Structure formats: C-alpha cells, structure tokens
Structure 1
C-alpha cells in the first residue's frame, strides 16, 4: 500500500483548529458550569453519621495497633447496648425518590445542557466544515476493526486503518484533553467530558440516598464480631534485633567512652 503524504495546510487549517476549538469549548464549559451550578447543602447530621462510620471502620481495620483496653473502650463507645453511639442514635430511613426532587432534576438538566448539547453541536459543525479530511496518523498499526472508529466520514476500503479523519480526531480530543484541562484548570474541573459520562453510566447522579439506620446496624455487627489481636507484641525485641543490638554488649566495658576522650 502506497504511503500518503498530507499537505502542510491540513495541519494549519484542519488539525490544529480542531484541537484549539475543542480546548476552548472545554474552558468555556468549565466556567459556565461554575456560574449556573448551585451549591449543594450538606446537613450536619449526615456529616456526623458518616464520620462515625469511618471511625468505626478504622477501629476494626487498625485496632491491632492499640492496646486491648483501648480497643475495648472504643468499641464500648460505639456498641454498648445502653449508651453506644450506634444504639442511641435513631435515624429514620430515607425513602425519597430522586426523580421527584425538582432541584436534582434541574441539576441533571443543567449538566446535560452544558456537556451533551455543546458536544453534539460542535461535533456536527466540525463534521460539516472539515468533512472528508484526513488529519493525522497514529504511530502504530491497527486492525481493520478500528476503521469505523477512526475514519468517520471517510469510506475508503483501501485506506490504512491508522489514518484518522477530522470527525474522529475531534472525538479523540474530547476524551483525550483531560490532562491538559487538569494542568490548566486543576483537579475535578467541569471541562472533563469523560467524568460527566462516567457519572451518567455509573448512575452516580441518580443514586438513591443512603439509609443511615442500615449502615449503623451493619457497622455495629461488624465491630461486634471484630477480635483484637495486638500487632505490636514483642515490638521492642524485634526493633532491637533489627538494628543488631543486644543487652549484653550495649554496656560492655570496651564500648564505654572515657571522659578524657571527650576533651
């Protein structure tokens, strides 16, 4: 198969403009989302409950590094039948449907308007403006299965699968500029299109509210079954043995420093 040579004008008028347009659209999306987004309020009771569960989980996982008496005191604070935190804190189960929450539906609509609509509009405009252009080539060979993904808008059977069309180059930039957005805007920026799509696919935006009563019960049962096995037993002897010391030669006469040697 003969090697193709692209005109340098394609780099200037097709390749680089698609990169710049995609990057600028992501920057605009980030600041627009900041302007129209609403601050989510977190109740103090929810923070206290989540922190209590985290403390109990840390006690189960890392309780071997504290003495047994300290472990039992902390477990008594959580699991005592009369005054334990998990027994005295009564929480009602939250059965609210997120689909009936107007604020959540509004946030979902804003997210779709900011992320999905610009991607479709800019993608359609780029596909119409730069239709039929071959922009670049990946530096490694690919199988024919990648032709439909990398050569959108170019239906050439004889063209090598490593070549990338203008429409496919746009979508590669949409999902490939995450590191650049992180470098310019910082972590957890709104310009990251991949994060928004992952949240929609995983159902994070439509997650049901957690039930603190069930979480308290599960953590109480797990902490009740936890057994303390002190992990720092004989740690002094192991530490001294690791540095090559023993009690017999630490105070040997030859190891003592004479006062005259200090002068």
Structure 2
C-alpha cells in the first residue's frame, strides 16, 4: 500500500482548529456549569444517621482501648431497646425520598444535559459539516480493521489504512482526551471533563434509589450486640516497664552514666 502524504495546510486549517475549538468549548462549558449549578441541600437527619454509623464502627474497632464500663455506656446509647439510637431510628418513618421526585434534582439533570450534551452534538455536527472528508492525522502504530469505524468516521475508503484518523473522529478523540489539559488549567473536578459527566449519568440509576438507613442500623446493632469487649490496655504498665527493663537500679545506673559523660 502506498504511503499517504498530507498537505501541510491540513495541520493549520483542520488539525489545530479542531483542538482549539474543542478546548475552548470545554472552558466555556466549565464556567457556564458553575453559573448554573445550585448548592445542594443536605438533610440534617441524614447527616446525623451517617455520623452515628461512623461512631458505631469506631466503637467496635477501637472499643478495646477504653474501659469496659465506658464501652457499655456507649453501646447502651446505640442499642438500648427503648431509647437506643438504632432502635428509635428503625421505628422512624422513611425520610429518604427518590431523588428523581425532587424538582431540584430534575432541574440539575436538565442543566447538565444542556451544558454538556447539546454543545457536544452541535459542535460535532458543525465540525463534521465544515471539515467533512478530511484526513487529519495518523496514529504512530498499526491498527486492525476493526478500528476503521471508530477512527475514520465520514470517510468510507476500504483501501485506507486503519491508522489514519478523520476529522470527525479527531474531534471525538479530543472531547475525551483533553482531560489532563483541563485538569492542568482548571484544576481537579472541573466541569469541562466530558467523560466525568457521562460517568455521572451512568451512575444516575444507582442514585435514583437511595440506600435504606434501616438496614445499616440493623447491621450495626447486631455487630455491637455480639461484640465481646476485651480490655486491651489491662497490663500496659507492666508491658511498658518490662520491655525496657526500667527498674529503679537500672534508672539510677543510667543517670550516673549520663552525668559522667557530661562531665567528660
């Protein structure tokens, strides 16, 4: 197969403009997203429940470092049959709502689609129309024929090597490949990263059904009930003194040696 040579003007009028346009659109999308983003309200009850679960887990993991009476008092706060936090919380009505039923959440989803999906479709269509049929660059390694449909959109040439990239495919490669540049310019967690927005949309189904805190409360209640407290610092004095053999005679001898060294 004969080697294909590109006109140098393609680099100036096709290759670089697509990169610059994609980058600038991402910058504009980032600042527009900041303007349209509304601060999410966090329910006080949800914060209390999450902090209670964290405290219960810390009690199970580090309970051996406090006296048994202190451990029992803390477990009584969580597991008492009448006034325990986990028991009263399980009797409480389900306050968690489906996020999709919240008008604010639906509005945020529409804003996200407006600032991410719509510009990508419009700019992609304009680039496909403006630079239609151009071969922009070539990847520096050989590829199989399966990559032709991904890298050569808009160019239907069977004889063309799969390593060549069309203008439309070059645009989509820039959309998902400028993440490091956006991070360098805008910082972490920027709104210009198109791949991050797609991942958030894919995880939207999991966000639609929030976890039930009653199941977590029941699991922590059972874990605290079967926890057997073993005082981990029962012989800490003898262990510390025995490890270094710090008897009264040794301490007197060490002090005498230190004083003699200072005099010398």
Normalising by structure 1, we get a TM-score of 0.82
2:236 and 2:8 map into 1 onto residues whose CA distance is: 69
Matches within 5 A, 1:243-258: 247=245, 251=250, 257=257
- Offset, 1:231: 7.3
Unaligned runs of at least 5 residues, structure 2: none
Aligned length: 259
Matches within 5 A, 1:24-173: 24-60=24-60, 62-63=61-62, 66-67=65-66, 69=68, 71-89=71-89, 90-94=91-95, 96-173=97-174
2:258 and 2:198 map into 1 onto residues whose CA distance is: 74
1:132 and 1:234 map into 2 onto residues whose CA distance is: 81
Q: Give the match's secondary structure for 1:257.
A: helix
Could you list the per-position Cα deviations for residues 64-102 of structure 1 after superposition, in whole angstroms to 9, with x for gaps in the alignment?
A: 662462544433332222332212345311464444432
Map of 2:21 onto structure 1: 21
Residues 257/79 of structure 1: CA separation in 2 closer, same or farther (3 Å cut):
same
Is the CA contact 1:94–1:210 (under 8 Å) kept in the aligned structure 2? Answer: no
Query: Root-mean-square deviation (CA), in Å?
Result: 3.2
1:234 and 1:157 map into 2 onto residues whose CA distance is: 80
2:96 and 2:208 map into 1 onto residues whose CA distance is: 12
Structure with more of its chain in helix, by fraction: 2
Map of 2:12 onto structure 1: 12
- Offset, 1:248: 9.1
1:100 and 1:11 map into 2 onto residues whose CA distance is: 50
Map of 2:188 onto structure 1: 187
2:258 and 2:38 map into 1 onto residues whose CA distance is: 74
1:157 and 1:64 map into 2 onto residues whose CA distance is: 70
Residues 123/237 of structure 1: CA separation in 2 closer, same or farther (3 Å cut):
farther
Could you list the per-position Cα deviations for residues 126-149 of structure 1 after superposition, in whole angstroms to 9, with x for gaps in the alignment?
A: 111111112222222222111111
Is the CA contact 2:145–2:162 (under 8 Å) kept in the aligned structure 1? Answer: yes
Residues 109/71 of structure 1: CA separation in 2 closer, same or farther (3 Å cut):
same
Q: Give the match's secondary structure for 1:83.
A: coil
2:163 and 2:59 map into 1 onto residues whose CA distance is: 54
Residues 102/258 of structure 1: CA separation in 2 closer, same or farther (3 Å cut):
closer
Residues 215/258 of structure 1: CA separation in 2 closer, same or farther (3 Å cut):
closer
Matches within 5 A, 1:168-247: 168-203=169-204, 206-228=207-229, 247=245
Residues 228/151 of structure 1: CA separation in 2 closer, same or farther (3 Å cut):
farther
Could you list the per-position Cα deviations for residues 131-183 of structure 1 after superposition, in whole angstroms to 9, with x for gaps in the alignment?
A: 11122222222221111111111112222222211111111111111122122
1:195 and 1:23 map into 2 onto residues whose CA distance is: 16
2:235 and 2:169 map into 1 onto residues whose CA distance is: 63
Is the CA contact 1:130–1:166 (under 8 Å) kept in the aligned structure 2? Answer: yes
Unaligned runs of at least 5 residues, structure 1: none
Q: Give the match's secondary structure for 1:170.
A: helix
Normalising by structure 2, we get a TM-score of 0.82
Q: Give the match's secondary structure for 1:135.
A: strand
